Structure 1
């Protein structure tokens, strides 16, 4: 399939799904064209699968609460299970939970869980493991990235050994999808040590874990769901995009995550590999810490947003694989999208106007960029060129991919980064826009915004929810510390012998859920 074929399929599928998306509350879903692979043949068992990821560091973890990178999410879905899981339309489906029901305006939820599941060490899975897994996120010493979300769980109780009740501080109509995400996979009751594999229930058991080097899993012969077809799965990091492509076409890897667009022709012409593309609501961003000078000045933040050439970035850096954004996290196809906010474009006159108001004309600012974030270097270069014309010097500091997320992200005042999509908007809003949240990288502290987010979370009337989210978008567009130029498609690649992966638009290669379903046609 060539590039034109990919674009045509994406457009036709995307148009087909618009009506369905309008009835959902999802950040990604049926709207987005899902370009994966369809298979008529039955899965085969056996073989060793080698996965080359784009992010690997000494901070790699087996602890779901501390998962940050793609490698971490892959481990969560390979060695553990969650109560629910998303399907290709990003609707919650049963996993460790058999069924669920909401009460009291979605403030109380009851989940009935499976009785036939065992952890890797042979221990039976019960409701008490669910209670422990949820509550450990609330303990500050855990250091959970999902604490802001878990803090909305007023109580999580095992009403029987196979039934769990969630009582929330406020209603949350999206709870089943929230619980499908990587941080909320289930660990054994009392687990505190995860370097040995965390003793999960997932399709693979941990055989070897060397942070920053590789993770090796072997098939769980007692897995409770269909799947776990290959004998073993190995994931390792290759931070350089060209090197990842070379590993694929030379036969050193069966799957690579995050294909660099300038290597697409190599993959398509190899005869042994093919592109796997998934349109999504993931986005690159320009992050500005709002409590640090000079970005505590909103005129400077606005100037930065007007320096972003969105059309050029989409066309050249992303090869058209995405759609334009408007400095907030809501996709244009979303039922909640606020079309009344004028689309921001690059405007040197407005940029210079705000730079003058901020007293920044003639000044120099450091901007950190890296290959670790999709499009990060290109975003920096295009902004640097535009800034020079507006009277500002952007000093680009190119950071190594290895260590960017631990040393630069959320630690520097100004940098280019990215966010993977989440199944519901409230997750990113709760993680990145609420005061005190673990991933509030821009240090925003807007009580009005926080109130809107909290109210929208429990609102079941879709008209009112759209109004609330529309107000959230306006605040983000006008004053928040994010410049968000576009939403990108996930572009991965596999050898032609890799089968069984569905395009779930929540992350690279099937939302990183693929360990259960993948098989090798050897």
Structure 2
């Protein structure tokens, strides 16, 4: 059985359905049993007109919500990072963690009545792995040598090298299971709690409850409508006037006002999310580590957390692991605002002053523009001129992020340390299009690969500690804040323990919540 506190070798290799079944219902469900019924209307801030139902192209939180309304994974990432059996009722790894065997849940059907089979799982993973795939998950799945059906209810993954956390990887939103042979993703075909009725990218979506959903106590609403609303004030007004039942990304400056309304609940969740101004280390002027250090010392993190986040968060420290991650190293000294030290590093780089463009949008997080303006004021005292360039909201993730040498970024949580570091900071992440700073450290690549297959917790901790220090000292991640998630809901809604990997209960509010 999986021990989520301090997993030993055996628990890392085993995942069983008995514990997982008990966790399918929230553990603190406000002393209520889930009820069916009602139309759930939710406002989403992160969306794009290019959103689609293609599981290989999931870029926004709107897309994540929709995927998990319609489809399921082999494994679900539950609140607190617990791995919950989903379409796989159990799994087991070999002693070297190279072979992983998943037993599929019986009696599960797709929306059209077709039964779930191992062939569906094989097809779903190979959709990402195939030649010509544009999936951002494809490089992560390069670790898979083969994925094959083994009988009527078993799927076997053979990996090129060991990965003790492979089951966690299967919980990624892009790895939802679709029917064997399915290429018409517009149908939204899946095994999930809802069936697609309407989808207008960048505008709205509507789904209806799947009457044959296999999860007891889940997928409770009759219908779910998601509405794309970029402006935080507009989302708040829609909730206050009864046009919405919930919305994500509450502006921290409005929390006190909203809390005065007896019909509104503010959900504050300690999350793994971080906000950053990433610098591309392969682009001038950030190819110089002294310039990067100057930028890092030229930002007052405390003031941004206080004034932009309203205190709903904590200062970042230029590496991506917060205290919510198992292998977070709290011994790394906190980098503080120090204009003189910033000037020192500029001088070492041969620069008396510096002028940079910071590309910003409210798409990554509410208040991003204000954070950029504050950074501009902070940096000026260090001889750095920051020109804040306001970018359009629509298409920010595809046209600005990972395209500009200096921009605004938000990272939500990942299921474990390995997935985050692999995606964001390794050569695999570069190939996947996730390495926003272009950091290319051979030692860091080696650490990530070694830690992935290391069973000994102490050795893994030492490896991940070194990784954090490399990113902190040499990387381009100017991570200024770890942010709490702030969602607003009607008090008519009920739910249990809230997940902290993504907003609105890990982007699974539609499945996990109900009307009281």
The residue correspondences of 1:489-504 to structure 2 (distance < 5 A) are 489-504=484-499
Match of 2:171, SS? coil
Cα distance in 2 for partners of 1:250, 1:482 equals: 40
Is the counterpart of residue 45 in structure 1 residue 36 in structure 2? yes
Aligned to 2:66: 75
Is the counterpart of residue 371 in structure 1 residue 362 in structure 2? yes
Aligned to 1:428: 420
Is the counterpart of residue 419 in structure 1 residue 414 in structure 2? no
CA 1:392–1:140: 2 relative to 1, 3 Å = farther
Aligned 8 A contact 1:22 1:334 in 2:
no
Aligned to 1:202: 192
Cα distance in 1 for partners of 2:507, 2:347 equals: 46
Is the counterpart of residue 174 in structure 1 residue 165 in structure 2? yes
**Structure 1: 5+ residue stretches without partners:** 1-18, 27-34
How much does 1:235 deviate? 0.6
**Residues 9-45 of structure 1: CA deviation (Å, up to 9, x unaligned):** xxxxxxxxxx98566999xxxxxxxx99742233222
Aligned to 2:54: 63
Mean Cα deviation higher: 255-264 or 439-448: 439-448
CA 1:140–1:389: 2 relative to 1, 3 Å = farther
Cα distance in 2 for partners of 1:52, 1:350 equals: 43
Aligned to 2:305: 314
**Structure 2: 5+ residue stretches without partners:** 13-25
Aligned to 1:384: 376
Aligned 8 A contact 2:103 2:153 in 1:
yes
CA 1:101–1:21: 2 relative to 1, 3 Å = closer
Is the counterpart of residue 136 in structure 1 residue 127 in structure 2? yes
Aligned to 1:396: 388
Aligned to 2:455: 460
How much does 1:150 deviate? 0.9
Aligned to 1:184: 175
Among candidates 211, 215, 233, match of residue 221 of structure 1: 211
Cα distance in 2 for partners of 1:157, 1:20 equals: 28
Aligned 8 A contact 1:154 1:167 in 2:
yes
The residue correspondences of 1:124-163 to structure 2 (distance < 5 A) are 124-163=115-154
Aligned 8 A contact 2:42 2:225 in 1:
yes
Cα distance in 1 for partners of 2:56, 2:470 equals: 30
Aligned to 2:473: 478
Cα distance in 2 for partners of 1:143, 1:97 equals: 26
Cα distance in 2 for partners of 1:486, 1:387 equals: 17
How much does 1:87 deviate? 2.5
Aligned 8 A contact 1:126 1:161 in 2:
yes
Compute the RMSD of aligned alpha carbons.
2.1
Aligned 8 A contact 1:370 1:400 in 2:
yes
Mean Cα deviation higher: 508-517 or 334-343: 334-343
Count of aligned positions: 494
Is the counterpart of residue 305 in structure 1 residue 296 in structure 2? yes
